[in-house]
Amino acid sequence: MNTLKRRQFLSQLSLAAVGTALSGKLYASSFLDSKPLIVEEFVQTETTYGKVKGYRSEGVNIFKGIPYAGKTSGNNRFRRPAKLEPWTGVRDALHLGAPAIQAPRRNEPEPSEDCLFLNVWTPASDNKKRPVMFYNHGGGFVIGSGGSAGQDGANLARNFDVVVVETNHRLGLFGFLYLDEIAGPDYAGSGNMGLLDIIDGLKWVHENIAQFGGNPDNVMIWGESGGGAKTSCLYAMPAAAPYFNKASIESGPGVRMMDKETAHENTLQLLKQLNISANNWQKILEVPAADLLSMQAKLPFVPPFLEKNKTQGMMRRNAGGFGPVVDGKALPRHPFDPDAPAISRNKPLLVGWNEDEYTFFAWERKDTESFKMDFDGLYQKLEPQYGPADTKKIIETYRKARPNATAPDIFVAISSITMMGLGSIDIAEKKARQNGAPVYLYNFGYKSENKIPGTDYAMGTPHAMDISFKFNNEVPPKNGEPAKPSFFGGNRPERFTASHNFAELWTTFARTGKPAAQSAPVWPAYNLKNRPTMRIDTKLEVVNNQFKEEVEMWRSIGRI
């Protein structure tokens, strides 16, 4: 590392954007206030492509916007990136790189087809072999970036001596348009370009992270929401296998992905909307990116995982939308169906969800009516989805298990576990049956007192609240300054303890393959006898067979 002349300046952190695609709609939010960042000095590090210049701030070296692969525009649209050419001199890595094509993001560069950049946070660019935490951002498969402030990696690097890496990669139809059936071998794997981009980022880490103080042989992949689904896919992809050795899937259990027949139908539907015949598919290469983004917005989005039809055992097929494709090549199988992938048998896994996932979506959808209903209203709300008999059984089970719960309480619990919980449990069970490396199931339960706008109902533990907690970005203010409220986490100082607990468990897992914290009891690997789950809060507690009655009911009606 070369240290350059000291200099101080203020820079504004970007606002975070998180989201997921569920039920055919996109949900996104911006949160975390901007704050001044003091840069103490510039630092240089060597990569296989040339030197990069980052900056040091409060004990962390930060490099932003490092290219990890070449152009994906022009002739490389829907194909593998062009070769990244080395540069001479020193390349600035002081600002975020362009995010993938999407709506403009506040405090980030203009979105671009050429978006293959990554960011690195490290305590020092030395020869110390720190664990590497390679994060896959959320946003379904259509929005997000590796530069969101909520997932800023500085506190993890500083407080837990790890290296954090986050990538931008292609999204939406630019990353997942399946052309294999009509475009020939040059476009093989086109339905998974976004995932293959991430693998290019992992390969870059393998070749370069030692120069940043990281251990290329100790890499954890992790991600939340759509990033959890991406991580699920990587766990099953042969091309990713050499570059990581443990994983964490958070509030985005990617059990099943789109089959290639559905993906092909989606491609034909898009071409029809563009008035392009399948024989002349090449014309899509000439369509401006902005026009393709506009067309994408008119089509349904793909959820983080596909559900099974409970009567036929078949996967639900959604017309429209773009996401990972089980193409038999890049992604040879569903990530966790019918079982855990053998290719990652020896790689430890964390998986879990937040207790009140739905309150995030209520906030996004401006849903206030769900928090006014009585139990008759709850039946009427659930019956179209589950049918009369199952709806009655569901409500009876939850009222018995939670005798003091209101109808809105039960609706939030049902919606949250069906969105993210059942898939997480399914993954844990399948991984445990594999009798390979351990799997650890968790449930995040710290309760925010913030109210859903327009209601008196507290958000509790909504979807995406875990991001700032696990990145240890819920921390006490310095120098006696008053604490600012957290967008999701609320204003109680207890949140700082819950954040430290979450971050310590995850960084210990990254370091050793076994999650642990000083204030935690021993976290047993998940098994089919005791079914232990770590509940993460200000107090860390192992709960055996959590939500036993509810889960058994869901199993009895074929939902898991």
β-partners of residue 18 are 29
Can you read off the two tokens belonging to residue 75?
Answer: 């002739």
Residues 197 and 88 in one domain: yes
DSSP for 39-108, written as a single string: --EEEEEEETTEEEEEEEETTEEEEEEEE-S---SGGGTTSPPPPPPP-SSEEE-BSPPPPPSSS--TTS
Is 225 considered catalytic here?
A: yes
Residue finishing a domain among 225, 258, 291: 258
- Residues of the chain above pLDDT 70, percent: 90
Q: What are phi and psi of 493, to 5 degrees?
A: -65, -15
Number of domains, the chain:
2
CA-to-CA distance for 480 and 493, rounded, in angstroms?
14
- Report H helices in 461-556: 465-470, 494-512, 548-556
CA-to-CA distance for 279 and 272, rounded, in angstroms?
12
Secondary structure percentages of the chain, helix, strand, coil, to 5: 35, 20, 45
Residue finishing a domain among 258, 292, 321: 258
Residues 78 and 208 in one domain: yes
Q: pLDDT per residue over 235-253, tens digit each?
A: 999 999 999 999 999 999 9
Residues 19 and 147 in one domain: yes
- In terms of DSSP bridges, do strands 41-47 and 2-6 run parallel, antiparallel, or are they unpaired? antiparallel
pLDDT at 483: 80
Residues 217 and 97 in one domain: yes
- Neighbouring CB atoms inside 10 A of 94's CB total 16
Residues 27 and 158 in one domain: yes
Q: pLDDT per residue over 377-427, tens digit each?
A: 999 999 999 999 999 999 999 999 999 999 999 999 999 999 999 999 999
Inter-axis angle of helices 226-234 and 193-208, nearest 10 = 70
Q: pLDDT per residue over 60-102, tens digit each?
A: 999 999 999 999 999 999 999 999 999 999 999 999 999 999 9
CATH of the domain at 400: 3.40.50.1820
Catalytically annotated residue among 29, 112, 148, 225: 225
Residues 242 and 364 in one domain: no
pLDDT at 312: 32
178 in a structural domain: yes
340 in a structural domain: no
Q: Has residue 141 got a pLDDT over 80?
A: yes
Cβ-count burial of 169 within 10 angstroms (0-12 exposed, 13-18 middle, 19+ buried)? buried
- The mean pLDDT of 298-317, rounded to a whole number, is 49
Place of tokens 């700082």: 496
392 in a structural domain: yes
CA-to-CA distance for 306 and 178, rounded, in angstroms?
17
pLDDT at 185: 94
* E strands in 334-438: 349-354
Quick check: 347 and 219 in contact, CB under 8 A? no
Question: In this structure, which amino acid lies at residue 7?
Answer: R
Residues 355 and 234 in one domain: no
Scored b (16 or more CB within 10 A) or e, 309-320 reads eeeeeebeebeb
Residues 406 and 532 in one domain: yes
CA-to-CA distance for 544 and 135, rounded, in angstroms?
29
277 in a structural domain: no
CA-to-CA distance for 323 and 266, rounded, in angstroms?
11
283 in a structural domain: no
DSSP letter assigned to residue 12 = E
- Residues of the chain above pLDDT 90, percent: 85
409 in a structural domain: yes
Place of tokens 């709300």: 381
Residue finishing a domain among 214, 234, 258: 258
549 in a structural domain: yes
| C-alpha distances out from residue 457 to 412, 481, 482, Å | 11, 30, 26
pTM: 0.92
Q: pLDDT per residue over 329-363, tens digit each?
A: 999 999 999 999 999 999 999 999 999 999 999 99
CA-to-CA distance for 132 and 509, rounded, in angstroms?
11
- Domain span at residue 10 reads 2-258
Residues 364 and 505 in one domain: yes
Q: Has residue 308 got a pLDDT over 60?
A: no
Residues 375 and 496 in one domain: yes
Q: pLDDT per residue over 204-236, tens digit each?
A: 999 999 999 999 999 999 999 999 999 999 999
Question: What is the three-class DSSP state of 198?
Answer: helix
337 in a structural domain: no
- The mean pLDDT of 39-53, rounded to a whole number, is 96
Residues 138 and 28 in one domain: yes
Counting DSSP H helices and E strands in the chain, the numbers are 15, 22
